[in-house]
């Protein structure tokens, strides 16, 4: 078994293909137990009914959570037309049931679907973890209380029909973080006039990580038992690989580790960047600032090694 010192130094990402039936927190617990590292967390809840990409940050990399969680997501969603439920998915009670076959063409469906592309306002489902005055909405809904949730702005980048087999339709959804695909299904059904709810969901991408990067949880558990799970650990810097990077020399690494600013090139652009060592190790998230003498400097915003 590794020494605790080695474990404390481990930092990185495990991209898991979550199976249906487990909560995101269940998966985190499996990883904590398998790695022996308590410091771990996911970057965006995936409902128990949903499967697919779940990004888990381990060790000091958990401090990347706020940046990685904000990444856009991609899903394959299966909708059933003609009925609605109080949870907007197959777990709920029917609030409307189809009395006749759905009389909607694929062309009609696609026309309404396109109306949901762009920046839109979306009300989260009443059975969700959104908090209302400190209480979770789903707890209030289960107790029969009226749940009045505020609409929030989300962005839907792309929607496409992958399979048309009414009353079921499979769609590809590329959206901003914070989007509820269940709400999208319900709103789509309302716009069509026939009702709809979500019967299946698979996250195919979270930020820059896709199913190609994901390891089935069962395979990861086998690797924990065999002691070779490190092969699946992705360096923390990879999570923000599409961010600009500033290479720090050894002296600058020491300065940044202690929260001190370092000089920036005169042509540096404003915005957050990755500060990386010459070995490619993520040292800090930095932002451009102006020094006392008017020169540009990189100000560490979040340091990952001390």
> Annotated catalytic residue: which of 17, 26, 47, 287?
47
One DSSP character per residue, 213-236 reads T-EEHHHHHHHHHHT-GGGGPBPG
Region label for 292, one of left (φ > 0), alpha (ψ between -120 and 50) or beta (otherwise): alpha
Q: Is 47 a catalytic residue?
A: yes
- In sign, the C-alpha dihedral spanning 214, 220, 223, 224 is positive
Spatial CA neighbour of 274 closest among 219, 225, 229, 235? 235
SS3 1: coil
Q: Which residues contact 263 (CB under 8 A, 6 or more apart)?
A: 295, 296, 297, 298
Asked if residue 178 lies in contact with residue 44, where contact means CB atoms within 8 angstroms, the answer is no
Query: Is there a cis peptide before residue 167, judged by omega within 30 degrees of 0?
Result: yes
Q: Which two tokens stand for residue 27?
A: 């998966």
Q: Which residues contact 5 (CB under 8 A, 6 or more apart)?
A: none
Catalytically active residues, by annotation = 47
């Amino acid at each position: 078994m590794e020494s605790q010192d080695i474990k404390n130094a481990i930092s990185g990402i495990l991209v898991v293909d979550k199976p249906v039936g487990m909560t995101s927190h269940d998966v985190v617990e499996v990883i904590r137990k398998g790695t022996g590292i308590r410091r771990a967390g996911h970057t965006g809840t995936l409902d128990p009914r949903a499967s697919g990409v779940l990004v888990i940050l381990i060790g000091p990399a958990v401090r990347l959570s706020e940046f990685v969680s904000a990444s856009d997501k991609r899903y394959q969603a299966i909708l059933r037309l003609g009925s609605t439920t109080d949870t907007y998915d197959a777990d709920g009670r029917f609030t409307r049931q189809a009395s006749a076959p759905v009389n909607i063409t694929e062309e009609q469906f696609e026309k309404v679907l396109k109306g949901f592309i762009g920046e839109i306002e979306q009300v989260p489902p009443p059975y969700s973890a959104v908090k209302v005055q400190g209480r979770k909405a789903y707890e209030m809904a289960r107790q029969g209380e009226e749940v009045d949730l505020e609409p929030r702005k989300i962005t839907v980048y792309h929607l496409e029909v992958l399979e048309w087999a009414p009353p079921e339709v499979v769609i590809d959804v590329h959206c901003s973080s914070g989007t509820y695909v269940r709400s999208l299904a319900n709103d789509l059904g309302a716009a069509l006039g026939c009702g709809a709810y979500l019967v299946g969901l698979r996250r195919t991408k979270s930020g820059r990580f896709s199913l190609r990067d994901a390891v089935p949880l069962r395979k990861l558990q086998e690797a924990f038992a065999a002691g070779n799970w490190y092969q699946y650990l992705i360096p923390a810097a990879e999570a923000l690989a599409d961010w600009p990077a500033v290479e720090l020399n050894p002296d600058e690494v020491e300065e940044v580790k202690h929260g001190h600013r370092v000089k920036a090139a005169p042509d540096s652009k404003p915005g957050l960047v990755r500060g990386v060592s010459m070995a490619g190790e993520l040292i800090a998230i930095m932002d451009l600032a102006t020094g006392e003498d008017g020169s540009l400097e990189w100000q560490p915003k979040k340091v990952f090694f001390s």
